[in-house]
Amino acid sequence: MSKFWSPFVKDLVPYVPGEQPKLAKLVKLNTNENPYGPSPKAIAAMQAELGDNLRLYPDPNGERLKQAVADYYGVTPAQVFVGNGSDEVLAHAFHGLFQHGRPLLFPDISYSFYPVYCGLYGIPFEAVALDEQFQIRVEDYARPNGGIVFPNPNAPTGCLLPLTAIERLLEANPDSVVLVDEAYVDFGGETAISLVDKYPNLLVTQTLSKSRSLAGLRVGLAVGHPELIEALERIKNSFNSYPLDRLAIAGAAAAFADREYFAKTCQAVIASREAVVAGLQQLGFEVLPSAANFVFARHPQRDAAELAAQLREQGVIVRHFKQARIAQFLRISIGAPEQNQALLDALQGL
Ligand SMILES: Cc1ncc(COP(=O)(O)O)c(C=O)c1O
C-alpha cells in the first residue's frame, strides 16, 4: 500500500490468475489451455501480418474478425463485439449492462472473476447456490435482479445447462440482460447464439483461448442484439479504441475460418476427457459430468489441497480452490494424451 493510492484502489480485491510456471518441464493442467497448437492457418495469417504495416494502427473495429464470427454463426457483424480476451468483453458487459442498482445474480460456484468485476464497477451481487449436484436451478433466479451471468458449461464444475433451461431463464427475466459465458461451450455444449434473434436481452460471450488454442493472443467476443453490442462499443471507445492488434485480428479471423482443424482438435480433447474421467474413476475419484476441457473431481478419502501439493512435487500442476463447498475438489485441465497419462500415473503413486 502507498500513500499515493486512491481509497478505491485500496479497497479493490483483484482476481488471481492460475499459475504460469517458469519451469518448462511441468505437466501444466491448471489453466484449461488447449494441448494442441492453434490452427496452422491462424499462424500463417499472423506471419503474413508481421511487417511494415505494424507501424499503422489496427482497424479499431476489428471488422475482419467480426465478419468471420458472423459468417461462422450466421449472424450479422452488427451483432458481434470483439475484445482483448473474453475477460475484457465481460468487463465491458458488467460496466455497460449490469450497473442498475439491483443485484447481479450468478452461481455461488462460478467464475471467480465475476465478484471482482462487481467490486471494480460497484455492482451489488447475490451468489445463488447451485443445487446438491452442482447444477443451476433456474427457479432460483426468479427474483429482482439487475442482470444474470453464468458460464455454460459452468466453471470450475464443467456442468452444462441445456438451452431449454436458458430459454426459461430469458423468458422469466425480460427486463434484465442474461449473459451466458460460453468460454468452454465447444467441448460439449450447444451455443445459445441460436437464441439471440429471439431474445434481445441475451448476450453470449466466447473466447479463442480454449477451443481455438489462442490463449496467448487474447481474443474474446460477444454476440447479441445490436443495441447490447452498441453498449459494449460505447464502453470500449471510452477506454481503449484499439483493443485488438493487427496480429490478433488476422490470427483470430483465420482461426474461425479453419473449421476443419477446429473440429478435429475439439474432438481430440473430448476423447481424452472421456479417458481421463475413466482413469480417475478407476482410482476412486468422483468426477462431475463435464462438457468442458477440464474435469472437476474429488476423492472421498484424500484431501484435495494435499493431493494438489503432492502432484506438484511430481511435476503435475492442477487447480485447487480454497472455497466453501469445493475445497475437496481438484480442477484438472485435459492435456495431450501423454500429459493425461502422467497425471494418472502420478496419482496412482500417491
Ligand atoms: C468461465 C470463463 N470465462 C472467461 C474466461 C476468460 O477467458 P479469456 O480472457 O482468456 O478469453 C475464462 C478463463 O479461464 C473462464 O474460465
Which spans in 237-303 are helix H?
A: 246-257, 259-282
Q: Which atom of ligand 1 is nearest to the CA of 110?
A: 1
Q: List all residues whose CB is within 6 A of at least one atom of ligand 1.
A: 32, 85-87, 111, 151, 155, 181, 183, 207, 209, 215, 220
Q: Which atom of ligand 1 is nearest to the CA of 111?
A: 1
What's the whole-number average pLDDT of the chain? 97
- Note the Cα 307 to chain centre separation in Å: 25
Residue limits of CATH 3.90.1150.10 in the chain: 2-37+260-348
Mean pLDDT of 240-260: 98
**What residue's CA is closest to ligand 1, atom 2?**
183
Q: Which atom of ligand 1 is nearest to the CA of 32?
A: 14
Residue 255 CA to ligand 1 center (angstroms) comes to: 18
Give the whole-number percent of the chain exceeding pLDDT 70.
100
Start-to-end CA distance of the chain, whole Å, equals 41
Say what the pLDDT of residue 22 is: 77
Q: Which CATH number fits domain 40-258: 3.40.640.10, 3.40.50.300, 1.10.1370.20, 3.30.300.30?
A: 3.40.640.10
Least Cα distance to 81 among 249, 245, 229 occurs for: 229
Q: Which atom of ligand 1 is nearest to the CA of 18?
A: 14
Q: What is the CATH code for 2-37+260-348?
A: 3.90.1150.10
Mean pLDDT of 212-221: 98
Residue 213 CA to ligand 1 center (angstroms) comes to: 12
Mean pLDDT of 113-122: 97
Residue limits of CATH 3.40.640.10 in the chain: 40-258
pTM above 0.85, yes or no: yes
**What residue's CA is closest to ligand 1, atom 3?**
183
**What residue's CA is closest to ligand 1, atom 7?**
86
Q: Write out pLDDT tens, residues 19-49.
A: 888 777 899 999 999 999 999 999 999 999 9
